[in-house]
Amino acid sequence: MPQSTAKIVQKTRIQHQNQALILKAALEVFSAFGYRGGTIDQIAKKCGLSKPNLLYYFKRKEDVYVAVLEATLAEWLEPLRGLDVNGDPIVELTRYVSEKLEISLKNPQASKLFANEILHGAPHIQKFLKGPLRDLVEEKSAVILEWVAQKKIAPVDPQHLIFAIWAVTQHYADFSVQVEAIMGSEPKPDRTRKAVIELLLRGLRA
Amino acid sequence: MPQSTAKIVQKTRIQHQNQALILKAALEVFSAFGYRGGTIDQIAKKCGLSKPNLLYYFKRKEDVYVAVLEATLAEWLEPLRGLDVNGDPIVELTRYVSEKLEISLKNPQASKLFANEILHGAPHIQKFLKGPLRDLVEEKSAVILEWVAQKKIAPVDPQHLIFAIWAVTQHYADFSVQVEAIMGSEPKPDRTRKAVIELLLRGLRA
DNA sequence: TTATTTCTTGATCAATTGGTCAAGAGTTGT
DNA sequence: ACAACTCTTGACCAATTGATCAAGAAATAA
């Protein structure tokens, strides 16, 4: 028992590489079929590993799912963080909506994964919702209320404004099938961006 | 072979009753766990039938799912149908948003079932999306454009306006867990209604 | 009542699937 | 080269689950 202390959990190059492969494949599978619908066989096959080999890196299916889910949470919060009380409200909100929409369009799988998790009761991210997410929304609601108090924007319910921004931007990722069925083809990102910003923010100009 | 023609498929009282039981239980199960996550055992147990008995009324699991899904589609379309080109735009749109929101709040399970189906590529309702839904959206987009042409409302992209209304109203059903986690409790329906209408329609007043 | 149809279920099957294990292959440090 | 550790896999297991079937119970029509 040479090395004095506990087992050092330093990641091997192979570990790093294979875990990344697994998480990438898992995102594709779970976002397409949901947690229960996706199988570790699918994931293993998609990244060229054998099933036992995959389970060597993540002991349980749930561990894979939680890992890929948590990897998306940080990205999810990021754009809202930037909302700056000292900036111009319309500029700030426009940037926020644009960023949120762009992320949805660029990485719809992450959005779908997240949507599916919440749709089914968010069993794995209760703490995230009631902790960091709630705190951040509270903080930014205060920012928006401050803008209202300063008469920089029209009176608005800040929480519901944030909900509306989330709902609309994620709609284009989560319900892309419906959007495309109705529009006849993939919507033009630029037209979508302009329309969404107008719809959500035009009513706010003081 | 007495009765001359083909088998008459007239529903018995028992059939009617048990099918209703099954569809009710199936909505609860599928909306909570998704298609793959829900099992016919769960559904059977929930409505007090044995599994083979359930399968006597619906041969396959998929048949149960499709039946309950289609039962929600009509209700889904209904509010938009009412949008009347001859009415006052703000009144009409306010009524539409209110109705859509109320349905979401009153029957979140149907909304979640529908959301889950689309989230996973809408494999069972492609025809509904590309047929009746698309046609209706096209028709009502024309109504909105007419209002714009008459300068009764501000210029707006009608399709994206409809998407935004869907997204926001359904958000309160589909992501209720998130909404409650952030607001700390179930949101007051009345405050929600006012906030949503303001957010979506304030920018439209000509 | 009797005959016919409808309804119900216990037993069972085959396929899927999450997970284990032991043994071997590959890699790394000395 | 050697030892120790890391990585990989075929075979296998147990639980779940969608679906079947034959036989009996219940309802309905004659």
B:76-135 Cβ neighbours of strand C under 7 Å: none
pLDDT at A10: 62
pLDDT at A2: 30
* Spans of all domains in chain A: 7-59, 72-204
Query: Using the 8-state DSSP alphabet, how is residue A176 labeled?
Result: H
Nearest to B72 by CA among B21, B32, B130, B112: B112
Tens of pLDDT along B24-52? Answer: 999 999 999 999 999 999 999 999 999 99
* Cβ count within 10 A of residue A179: 22
pLDDT at B14: 86
CATH number of A72-204: 1.10.357.10
In this complex, the answer to whether residue B24 has its CB under 7 A from any atom of chain C, a nucleic strand, is: no
Nucleotides of C under 7 A from a protein CB: 6-11, 16-22, 28
Cβ pair A167:B163 closer than 8 A: no
B76 near B104, Cβ under 8 Å? no
d(CA A38, CA A153): 45
Q: Would you identify the CATH topology of the domain B13-204?
A: Tetracycline Repressor; domain 2 (1.10.357)
pLDDT at B9: 52
Look-up of token digits 């920089």: A152
- Write out the E strands in A113-185: none
Contacts of B181 in chain A (CB under 8 A): 122, 126, 129-130, 133-134
- Write out the E strands in B9-95: none
pLDDT at B1: 28
In this complex, the answer to whether residue A12 has its CB under 7 A from any atom of chain D, a nucleic strand, is: yes
Give residue B13's identity as a one-letter amino acid code: R
DSSP character string of A20-80? HHHHHHHHHHHHHHHHHH--HHHHHHHTT--HHHHHHHSSSHHHHHHHHHHHHHHHHHHHH
Looking at CA atoms only, how far is residue A154 from chain B in angstroms? 10
CATH ID of A7-59, from 4.10.93.10, 3.40.630.30, 1.10.10.60, 3.30.830.10: 1.10.10.60
Tens of pLDDT along B69-104? Answer: 999 998 899 999 999 999 999 999 999 999 999 999
- Per the prediction, chain A carries an average pLDDT of 94
Residue A153 backbone dihedrals phi, psi, to 5 degrees = -135, 165
Taking residues A27-50, report their average pLDDT. 97
Contacts of B184 in chain A (CB under 8 A): 134
Give whole-number Cα distances, A135 to A81, A131, B56, B183, in Å: 11, 6, 51, 11
Which of the four pLDDT bands, split at 50, 70 and 90, describes residue B105? very high
pLDDT exceeds 50 at position A7: no
> Is residue B153 classed as helix, strand or coil in its secondary structure?
strand
In chain A, the residue whose alpha carbon lies closest to the alpha carbon of B135 is A182
In this complex, the answer to whether residue B188 has its CB under 7 A from any atom of chain D, a nucleic strand, is: no
Angle between the N-to-C axes of helices B158-174 and B176-183, in degrees from 0 to 180, rounded to the nearest 10:
70
Angle between the N-to-C axes of helices A108-119 and A158-174, in degrees from 0 to 180, rounded to the nearest 10:
120
Dihedral of the alpha carbons of A114, A116, A119, A121, in degrees to the nearest 10: -80
Q: Which of A121, A156, A178 is facing B177, going by the closest CB pair?
A: A121
Query: Using the 8-state DSSP alphabet, how is residue A7 labeled?
Result: P
